[in-house]
Amino acid sequence: MPVSIIEAQTQRVFLKTLVGPTTDLLREQIAAHQSLQEDLESEQANINSLSNMVVVVDESSSDSAYSSLEDELNALGERWAHICRWAESRWKTLQTLSVHWTHYEQEMNKMGEWMNEKESLLREVESNPSSDQEHILRQASMLQILQARGKYNIAFLNICKKRVPKF
C-alpha cells in the first residue's frame, strides 16, 4: 500500500511543474496544491507506520532478504521526504507568485485606467484644434508629460516581463 501511495503522489507532483500563466490558472493551481498537501498529510500516518513496523525474520533465511527489505524501506522514505520537500517548496512559490500577481494586476488596472483617461484627453485635444499660443503650449506640455509617463509605464512592463521567468 505505501508503495502505491508514494507512486500516486509522485505522479501528482511531477504533473504540476508549470505555474500560471494567468491569475485564474494560478488560483486553480493553489487550490489543487492545497488538495495535494491535504492528501500528503492524511497519508503521513501510513508512512509513519512503516518506521514503526516490526519484521519477524526467519533465522534460516539469509541476511540479504532483511537487507533488501531495509534498503527498499529507506528508498521509500527518501522518496516520500523528497515529495514533501517539493510540496513545501511549491507552496512557497505559489504564495509568492500570488502576491506578485495580485500587485501586477492592480498596476495593470491602474495603467489601463490611466491610458483610457489619457486617450479621451487626446481625443478632446484632437477634436478642439486651437491657434491660441497659450492653448497650444498647454497641449504640448501635456503631451510631454504623457510621453514621460508612457516611457515609465513601458519600463515598468519590461521589469515585470524580466521577473516572470524567475518563477
pLDDT at residue 38, as a whole number: 92
Give pLDDT, residue 31: 92
Domain that holds residue 119: 2-166
Radius of gyration of the chain (CA): 30
Q: Residues 63, 137: contact at Cβ < 8 Å?
A: no
CATH number, residue 21 = 1.20.58
- The pLDDT assigned to 49 comes to 80
Cell of 44: 503521513
Per-residue pLDDT of the chain (167 residues; tens, 9 = 90+): 455 666 666 666 555 667 777 788 888 889 989 998 998 898 888 888 877 776 666 676 666 767 887 888 888 888 888 889 989 999 998 998 888 888 888 888 888 898 888 888 888 878 877 788 888 888 888 888 888 888 888 888 788 777 765 55
Provide the pLDDT for residue 88: 93
Structural domain total, the chain: 1
**What does the alpha-carbon distance between residue 62 and residue 56 come to, in Å, rounded to a whole number?**
13
